Amino acid sequence: MNDAEIAAAATFLPVSELARRSAIPEDALIPYGHHMAKIDPARLPRSQRTPGRVVLVTGISPTPAGEGKSTVTVGLVDGLNELAAQADAPAWWRGRTAMAALREPSLGPVFGMKGGATGGGHAQVVPMEEINLHFTGDFHAITAAHNLLCALIDNHLHQGNTLGIDPRTIALKRCLDTNDRALRQTVIGLGGRSQGVPRENGFEITVATETMAVFCLSRDLEDLKSRLSRMIIGRTHDQQPVTVGQLGPNGAQGAMAVLLKDALKPNLVQTLGGSAVLIHGGPFANIAHGANSIIATNTARSLSDLVVTEAGFGADLGGQKFMDITAVAGGFPPAASVVVATVRALKMNGGLSLGEVNAGATAGVAAGTAETAERRHLVALEAGVANLERHVQNLSVYGVPVIVAVNRFPQDTDAELSWLTDWCGRAGVRVAVAEVWARGGAGAVELARQVTEAIAEGTGSYRSLWTETMDVEERIDAVVQRIYRGSHVEYSAEAKRQLAQLTEEGWGHLPVCMAKTQYSFTDDPKVLGAPTGFGITVRELVVRPGAGFIVALTGAMMTMPGLPKAPAADVMDVDADGRISGLF
């Protein structure tokens, strides 16, 4: 059976029963149908328990289809809850509970290439179809709030522009939760005086906007409004920044918050194994900070002993940003980190083509050589493991225990898996093969054991890559040299101008959110493996005071993706009875 068929055949708990088992009182629950609900954190009783600790799940440099971090995350939380009921569990974990905190899926990848974000096989969050599509409407609310701001800005220009905004400096673009390259650059306000002030604009995907980042990094509604008010919308003709808080008599943050107040409550759903999951917020990790909302993680911490959360793409992107931005803003340093690795991604990083990787090592004799495909694949795995080694070393910089989860795929051979686990043993890294797609939580019990034993050892001591006194250049240098292993940073003329301006205006102390390709440690997606000695080009620096960081755009990164030649939407349909096909 495929993912959709497995989910359709499953029986889930009513959300009211799921809430009861998770110690969520009825008056804190806002049901959305039978199996989804929002939680009002303000109505949760003040717990005397110690807040749960956080386990971060990240990964190696991926293939275009992804390596199953969400699937492993879901399987791990089920595995932790299964392990807690076993007599041979680590003593501290017996009788304990785990929850997951995940990002909401974006419709861009759902209808594009990667598909949804609810896991797969027997390690899924359900109801899969509802979560991957409109869910509880959070992304629509964020899109509406952001576009309301854009409409208010253009209305201000049309109605006299009392703030003296230079239209050429308005950096905010409208947004849409869809991959649509044709909207990257637009011209608006055409058609005469009554249609507004003509200017260049464009669209970003919703998850790349500062509004999404603010949403995910806010602690509560008042913090949300405060952060929204600090967002820079443009500049005056003498280059003074104009913020959301200056727009209109009371600022535009109140109107935006009206649209976001209900969306700010985290969403409760469940795994196929019956574990509770909070799904909330969803910034991309290559062009944003890549973690679910702080509110969801802290809510889960108040309800469980371990919270398993995922950061997007590899440890060089979502992992680094979680450690240096999200964990600091949320006040929850991770107790352990899990690196999801796959044989196929390591072989691609070791020199095989994507087609060869997907075919597997049993596909016959490699063309043009006497070597069998099996030997050729094993050689590529041996070469590609340098990528895993780099990610493990990078996470170790933060002082927390690292566990490798090998996400098993059907085409993986026993020889490949044996070689990879042996390599981890020789490298002194904890490792477990996760068979969560096929077995659900039962396929992650050994991984759960490795995680809980690593935490029990108590040898970890979290530390950030940055110090508070570092300026923007020093923070970028630290990421490039210590995480990417590059030798230097080059700034475009525009980035140099922006760096001087933001430093003069007092933003030079902010953290940096690197926007970089997910496929490589470099800013070139074609350079795979574990390169060293390269340069990173920063072409633009964007100050985002609401989010509390500066975005450094590198290489050719864009904030509005395009659809692939054969998007997932091509095979989607719904029959007369409302049954959806093609969604994954």
Reported as half-sphere exposure (CB side, CA atoms, 13 A), residue 64 has a value of 12
Average the pLDDT over 420-440 and give the result. 97
Is 515 a member of any domain? yes
Q: What is the CATH number of the domain that holds 227?
A: 3.30.1510.10
CB atoms within 10 A of CB 397: 15
18, 123: one domain: yes
Which residues make Cβ contacts (< 8 Å) with residue 555, sequence separation at least 6?
516, 517, 522, 523, 524, 525, 536, 537, 539
Q: Which residues are catalytic?
A: 69, 71, 103, 114, 285, 313, 409, 437
149, 60: one domain: no
For residue 310, the one-letter residue type is: E
CA 132 to each of CA 119, 332, 580: distance values in angstroms, whole numbers, following the listed order: 11, 27, 12
pTM, rounded to two decimals: 0.94
256, 280: one domain: no
Residue-range definition of the domain harbouring residue 127: 3-134+266-339+428-457
Q: Is the pLDDT confidence value at 365 over 60? A: no
Residue with tokens 């991926």: 62
449, 544: one domain: no
298, 249: one domain: no
Last residue of a domain, one of 260, 282, 298: 260
Average the pLDDT over 188-208 and give the result. 96
Tally of domains within the chain: 3
Is 101 a member of any domain? yes
- The residue among 371 and 563 whose pLDDT is bigger is 563
Which residues make Cβ contacts (< 8 Å) with residue 506, sequence separation at least 6?
none
Average the pLDDT over 264-285 and give the result. 95
Q: Is the pLDDT confidence value at 214 over 50? A: yes
Q: Is the pLDDT confidence value at 460 over 90? A: no
2: confidence class by pLDDT, cuts 50, 70, 90: confident
521: confidence class by pLDDT, cuts 50, 70, 90: very high
> What distance in Å separates the CA atoms of residue 124 and residue 113, rounded to the nearest whole number?
19
Is 241 a member of any domain? yes
> What distance in Å separates the CA atoms of residue 502 and residue 111, rounded to the nearest whole number?
38
pLDDT digits (tens, 9 = 90+) for 287-303: 889 999 999 999 999 99
Average the pLDDT over 490-510 and give the result. 96
Question: What confidence score (pLDDT) does residue 360 get?
Answer: 79
Are the CB atoms for 317 and 285 separated by under 8 Å? yes
177, 34: one domain: no
530, 511: one domain: yes
**What's the mean per-residue pLDDT of the chain?**
95
556: confidence class by pLDDT, cuts 50, 70, 90: confident
For residue 386, the one-letter residue type is: A
Average the pLDDT over 554-564 and give the result. 92
Is 546 a member of any domain? yes
Question: What confidence score (pLDDT) does residue 308 get?
Answer: 99
Last residue of a domain, one of 207, 232, 260: 260
315, 436: one domain: yes
Is 15 a member of any domain? yes
Is 504 a member of any domain? yes
Question: What confidence score (pLDDT) does residue 370 get?
Answer: 41
pLDDT digits (tens, 9 = 90+) for 404-426: 999 999 999 999 999 999 999 99
Percent of the chain with pLDDT over 70: 98
119, 154: one domain: no
Average the pLDDT over 248-264 and give the result. 97
Reported as half-sphere exposure (CB side, CA atoms, 13 A), residue 433 has a value of 18
122, 150: one domain: no
Length of the chain equals: 584
Q: Is the pLDDT confidence value at 159 over 80? A: yes
Is 400 a member of any domain? no
Q: Is the pLDDT confidence value at 79 over 60? A: yes
Question: What confidence score (pLDDT) does residue 136 get?
Answer: 97
CB atoms within 10 A of CB 457: 10
Question: What confidence score (pLDDT) does residue 1 get?
Answer: 83
85, 169: one domain: no
302, 438: one domain: yes
